[in-house]
């Protein structure tokens, strides 16, 4: 018996990604595309009962770092656990192509330092069956994934490839260097790069402590690369910067966009150094938009913070002499020592060796450190729940509270975690993020999926966005579900030129989520040892995703992966469906 559709999602509440009000409808899928939306009489080869649930487009995460993971793994977890169906990698100027064989270790050390992905994991996992950037894309094109993958040309790799040691040492690029980089950028866009990423922040360093090679790249170099992209007529620009001189830095970025005509996005966060600077940046984007320029900001939707724990890269005692004695012991043995009263007393009597403990001097910042809780962890915590407040209420040293939580906080056995918000939380509130998210030049971003495997776990941003901003927030106004779905589906897709997805409408990609919205739950972060060489990484899962669908195929059912791997490498931007192009 012939079926009209490959898949029909029945009776759900459709939040279609356009920002329009939700509505009840069936969604029919044929040949990987949405074929019908409404009351569907025809049957599907497969049907999903979505009554009482929401149906959304698949989420498009434009700020990830799966550049290595995509070469050895078909599942882009944790992102694909959180309804993400398309990822963009190659952000912040770090990646693995182009790369000469003599520079393999150099690029691995850079990724290890910038994105906290261990050297042995990358050494073991990367096949290095490429040298040029087009060859890297060709390698990815042979693989199958649970999401679609788009890649950006990373500036650091490009600079080192062209300039060698001079590039590493951040020497100014010569006219010949710029010409060579522009030619390679043009070739990369023609081969299928979705864009170009660069970093201008001191926070990005190689594992040996040296700043990223792109930190001080001149405007002539960046303009030259952008003009190479313009010659190809393709590609978006992505920038992360310290914005130490915000007016001058933004003016430079604007000139690059004006000269090249290429769209640009940059990372925007509330910094404790200048808690009001984000307002200026919004004003500058508004002016640029009025002038016909596409400059958007990627905004983190919760604090960007560090997780501390005995099982993680760092904890508040990492620089204490007594802890250093036991730091290489297996976790269970360290836990036993830390529970020993004599050892604990010696630890508490010490001071850290370093004036700066891990993170942002947590030994002097207990009022900004919070015990990480259970399911639906609180990412907008109040000061009365801090380690300092708990210690004051108990009449004990804050270090006692911190150590007790790491030893016995859930899930226990030394796996409790502490949370230190660093950015987007300068005034102990997410109200600035709320205001940023309402600006028409802002998209949700900066999840860093696939990176910071021992200190940060933000690949869960898409789920957190729905739970916190549209359902559970109590410390300020919420955002509508329609607004947030549009933000992390259609708006993110358009930002990088993926006009064929992010909407539930006939002709668009059949990337969908069926979500039990009322019961959607973000789980507490945990640790897995499933990277190459048994490498450790932070993970965070969710409950409530009834189904995630990529190109019409169900990839996850109730959080469990199926055998389907329909995701592919995307070669550059994607045009809107022909029938919809005029709308």
| Contact by Cβ (8 Å): 84, 111 | no
Q: Could you tell me if residue 390 is inside a domain? A: yes
DSSP string covering 488-536, please?
IIIIHHHHTTBTTSSS-STTSB--EEEE-GGG-EEPPPEEEEEEGGGEE
Of the three residues 468, 495, 522, the one that is the final residue of a domain is: 495
Residue 517 lies in a domain: no
pLDDT at residue 579 in the model: 58
Domains of the chain: total: 2
Q: What is the pLDDT of residue 441?
A: 98
Q: Let me know whether 414 and 457 are in one domain.
A: no
- Indicate if 477 and 400 belong to the same structural domain: no
Q: Is residue 217 part of a domain?
A: yes
User: Residue 163 domain-assigned?
Assistant: yes
Q: Are residues 347 and 285 in the same domain?
A: no
Task: Tell me, yes or no, whether 489 and 399 share the same domain.
Answer: no
DSSP label at residue 71: G
**Last residue of some domain: 467, 495, 523?**
495
Q: Both 384 and 238 in a single domain?
A: no
Q: Establish if 128 belongs to a structural domain.
A: yes
Share of the chain above pLDDT 90, in %: 94
Q: Strand (E) positions, 74-115?
A: 84-89
Query: In this structure, are 228 and 374 located in the same domain?
Result: no
Q: Is residue 172 part of a domain?
A: yes
* Mean pLDDT, residues 500-521 taken together: 98
**Listed residues 364, 398, 423: the one ending a domain:** 423
Instruction: Answer yes or no: is pLDDT of 580 > 50.
Output: no
Same domain, 357 and 371: yes
Q: Tell me: do 441 and 355 sit in the same domain.
A: no
Q: Which tokens sit at 368?
A: 């900004």
Q: Stretch 29-58: mean pLDDT, rounded?
A: 98
Average pLDDT, the chain: 95
In terms of residue numbers, what domain contains 364?
Answer: 310-423
Residues 340 and 377 in one domain: yes
**Whether the predicted pLDDT of 42 surpasses 70:** yes
pLDDT at 256 over 90: yes
Whether residues 126 and 275 share a domain: the answer is yes
CATH number of the domain enclosing 436: 3.20.20.140
* Residue 359 banded pLDDT, cuts 50, 70, 90: very low
State residue 373's pLDDT score.
83
What is the mean predicted confidence (pLDDT) over 126-134?
Answer: 98
Q: How many CB atoms lie within 10 A of CB 374?
A: 10
- Which residues of 65-181 form beta strands (DSSP E)? 84-89, 148-154
Examine residue 459 and state whether it is found in any structural domain, yes or no. yes
- In Å, what is the CA distance from 106 to each residue of 112, 197, 200, 342, 495? 10, 18, 19, 44, 31
- 246 vs 253, 260, 276, CA distance in Å? 10, 21, 12
**74 within domain boundaries:** yes
Q: Are residues 219 and 296 in the same domain?
A: yes
Residues 337 and 213 in one domain: no
Q: What is the pLDDT of residues 205-228, one digit of tens each?
A: 999 999 999 999 999 999 999 999
pTM assigned to the model? 0.96
């Amino acid at each position: 018996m012939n079926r009209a559709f490959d898949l029909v999602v029945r009776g759900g509440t459709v939040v279609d990604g356009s920002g329009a009000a939700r509505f009840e409808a069936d969604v029919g899928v044929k040949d990987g595309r949405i074929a019908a939306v409404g009351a569907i009489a025809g049957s599907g080869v497969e049907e999903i009962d979505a009554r009482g649930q929401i149906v959304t487009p698949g989420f498009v995460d434009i700020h990830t770092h799966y550049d290595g993971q995509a070469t050895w793994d078909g599942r882009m977890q944790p992102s694909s656990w959180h309804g993400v169906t398309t990822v963009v990698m190659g952000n912040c100027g770090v990646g693995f192509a182009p790369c000469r064989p003599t520079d393999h270790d150099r690029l691995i050390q850079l990724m290890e330092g910038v994105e906290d992905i261990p050297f042995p994991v990358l050494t073991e996992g990367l096949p290095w069956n490429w040298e040029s950037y087009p060859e890297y894309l060709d390698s990815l094109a042979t693989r199958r994934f649970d999401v679609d993958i788009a890649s950006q040309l990373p500036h650091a790799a490009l600079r080192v490839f062209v300039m060698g040691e001079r590039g590493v040492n951040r020497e100014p690029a010569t006219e010949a260097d710029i010409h060579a980089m522009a030619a390679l950028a043009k070739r990369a866009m023609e081969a299928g790069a979705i864009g170009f990423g660069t970093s201008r922040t001191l926070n990005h360093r190689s594992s040996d402590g040296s700043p990223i090679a792109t930190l001080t790249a001149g405007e002539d170099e960046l303009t030259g690369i952008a003009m190479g992209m313009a010659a190809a007529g393709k590609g978006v620009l992505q920038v992360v910067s310290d914005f130490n001189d915000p007016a001058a830095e933004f003016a430079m970025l604007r000139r690059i966009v004006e000269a090249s005509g290429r769209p640009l996005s940059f990372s925007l966060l509330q910094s404790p150094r200048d808690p009001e600077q984000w307002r200026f940046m919004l004003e500058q984007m508004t002016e640029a938009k009025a002038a016909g320029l596409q400059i958007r900001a990627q905004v983190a939707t919760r604090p960007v913070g560090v997780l501390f724990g005995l099982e993680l890269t760092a904890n508040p005692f990492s620089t204490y002499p007594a802890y250093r004695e036991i730091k290489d012991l297996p976790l269970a043995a360290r836990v036993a020592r830390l529970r020993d009263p004599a050892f604990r007393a010696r630890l508490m009597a010490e001071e850290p060796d370093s004036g700066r403990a891990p993170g942002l001097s947590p030994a002097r910042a207990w009022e900004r450190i919070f015990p990480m809780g259970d399911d639906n962890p609180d990412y907008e915590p109040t000061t009365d729940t801090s380690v300092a407040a708990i210690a004051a209420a108990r009449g004990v040293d804050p270090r006692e509270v911190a150590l007790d939580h790491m030893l016995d906080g859930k899930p226990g056995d030394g796996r409790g975690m502490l949370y230190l918000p660093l950015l987007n939380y300068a005034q102990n509130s997410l109200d600035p993020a709320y205001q940023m998210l309402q600006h028409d030049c802002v998209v949700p971003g900066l999840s860093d999926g696939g990176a910071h495997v021992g200190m940060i776990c933000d690949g869960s941003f898409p789920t957190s966005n729905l739970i916190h901003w549209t359902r559970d927030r109590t410390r300020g106004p919420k955002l509508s579900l329609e607004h947030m779905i549009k933000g992390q589906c259609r708006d993110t897709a358009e930002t990088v030129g993926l006009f064929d997805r992010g909407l539930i409408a006939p002709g668009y990609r059949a990337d969908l989520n069926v979500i039990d919205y009322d019961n959607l739950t973000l789980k507490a972060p945990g640790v897995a040892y499933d990277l190459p060489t048994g490498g450790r990484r932070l993970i965070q899962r969710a409950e409530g995703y009834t189904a995630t669908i990529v190109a019409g195929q169900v990839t996850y059912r109730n959080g469990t992966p199926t055998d389907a791997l329909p995701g592919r490498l995307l070669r550059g931007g994607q045009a809107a469906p022909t029938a919809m192009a005029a709308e």
